Amino acid sequence: MGRIVSGHQPQYYPPLHYFARVQQADVFFLYDDVQFSRGSLQHRVFIRGDSRDWLTIPVRNTGIDTTITDARIDMATPWPARHIRALVEQYGEDVRELTPFYERLCPPVVDPETLRETPDRFDTAGFGTRLDEWIRLDEKWRTQRTKLRALQQAKYRLAAEIGRQKRVDPTAAIDELTAAAEALTAKLECAENTSQIFQTRRDRVLLDISRAFDGSKEIDKLPMAKRWELALDPVEWMGDVKLVDLTIPLLEELFRRLEISTTIVRSSELPVERADNPSEYLARLTEHLGGDRFLSGGVGYAAYLDEAPFETRGLEVIVQDWTPTWVEGDVCVLDVLYGAEDPSHYIR
C-alpha cells in the first residue's frame, strides 16, 4: 500500500467527514496558507440547538489576498463567552473543558477583588509603586461611582416630582424644577466622565500588573466574560490574535479525542513553493510529503481538482468514499463527541 496524503483548510468544529478523511490519510496537511473565505466554515459552525444558529468567530476586515494564517480575530466584543454559553446550552456542562482554548486568546488578568483584598500576594513581586497606584485609583473610582449613583437617584426623584406636578396641574409653573433637572444632568455628565477617567487609569495599571506578574506563580484570572468590562480598548490590551490561534489548537485536541494517529502538518510551515493553480500546489505538497496518492474530498474533486499536475509526478488521485453511520448523518463533530460512548467509531 502506498502513502496517502490529504489536506484541507482548518475549520471551526468541522463535520464528521473532515475527520474521516484525516483518519484515512497517512499525512494530513492543514491548508492554512491559502485564501481566507469569510463565508466559509473556516471561522463558523452551525450547531443544531433549539435556536439552530451559526456561531461565527468575528474576523477583522480582510483583503482578497489575506491567507487563513494571516486572518486576525476581532476581539472588540466578548464573543468567546457567548460561544461557550451556546455550546453549553447545546452539549451540556462537559463542553466547558474547551474553555481554555478561548481563554488563551486573552492575556491573564488579575481579578480586581483579589488585588483589593489581598494586595500582599502581589506586593512581593516587586510592583511597589504600581500596586500603590492601583489601590489609590481603585478607591477614587469606587468613591466616584458612589457619587454617581447618588446623582442618578436624585435625577430619578426629580423627574418623578416633575411628572407628578404635571399630572396634578398641567398648568403649574415648574421652571425651578426644570432648571434643577438641567443642572443635575450637567453634574451627572461630569461625574460620569470623571468616573470613566478613573476607571480607565485604574484598569490600565491593573493590566500592567497582570502583564508583569510571574506566570509561574498562582494568579487569579478575571472571568472571561468580565474582561470586556475593563475600560480599555480590547484590541490594545488583547493584542494581535490570529484565527489559527484558536482553530488549529482546537483541531489538534479533536484529533486526539477521536484517537486519530495521522501525522498532521501545516502547509504554511513546509518549504514548498505556492502555485497559483490549486491543483499544482496540492500536487507539490503531496510529492514533498512523500505521498504517492492524494485523497480528495468529493466536492473539491468535482469543483476544481485537475489531475494533470499529479499525473506528471506519477501520483494518483483518489476520492473520499465514506458514508456516515451516525444516526443524524454528517453532523458537527461536537454532536458525536458529546453524544456517543465511542466517538471515534463514527469516523471510521
Long-range Cβ pairs for the range 242-245 (8 Å, 24+): 242/69, 242/70, 242/71, 242/72, 242/73, 243/36, 243/42, 243/43, 243/57, 243/59, 243/68, 243/71, 243/72, 243/73, 244/10, 244/32, 244/68, 244/69, 244/71, 245/73, 245/104, 245/105
Question: What radius of gyration, in Å, describes the C-alpha atoms of the chain?
Answer: 28
The three-state secondary structure class of 242 is: strand
Q: Are 212 and 127 in contact (CB under 8 A)?
A: yes
113-154 pLDDT, tens digit per residue, is: 888 888 777 765 566 788 889 999 999 999 999 999 999 999
The three-state secondary structure class of 318 is: strand
Given strand 4-8, what is the order of strands in its sheet?
Answer: 263-266, 27-30, 4-8, 293-296, 316-319
The DSSP-derived string for 181-226 is HHHHHHHHHHHHHHHHHHHHHHHHHHHHHHHHS-TTS--PBPPGGG
pTM over 0.75: yes
Q: Are 250 and 79 in contact (CB under 8 A)?
A: no
Longest Cα–Cα distance in the chain: 96
The CATH H-level (homologous superfamily) assignment of domain 112-218 is: Serine-tRNA synthetase, tRNA binding domain (1.10.287.40)
Q: What are the boundaries of each domain within the chain? A: 4-66+260-347, 112-218
Identify the CA nearest to 110 among candidates 98, 101, 123. Answer: 123
Phi, psi of 220 (to 5 degrees): -85, 120
**What is each CA distance from 284 to 6, 52, 288, 297, 305, in whole angstroms?**
12, 40, 6, 18, 14
Please give the pLDDT value at position 109: 87
Task: Provide the pairing of β-strand 293-296 with 316-319.
Answer: parallel
Please give the pLDDT value at position 218: 64
Please give the pLDDT value at position 2: 79
Helix (H) or strand (E) run with residue 45 in it: strand 44-47
Please give the pLDDT value at position 195: 93
Rounded distance, CA 163 to CA 284, Å? 77
- Sites in the chain below the pLDDT cut of 70: 1, 49-52, 123-127, 214-218
How many C-alpha atoms does 202 have within 13 Å on its Cβ side? 24
Rounded distance, CA 106 to CA 136, Å? 26
- Mean pLDDT (the chain) is 91
Please give the pLDDT value at position 125: 54
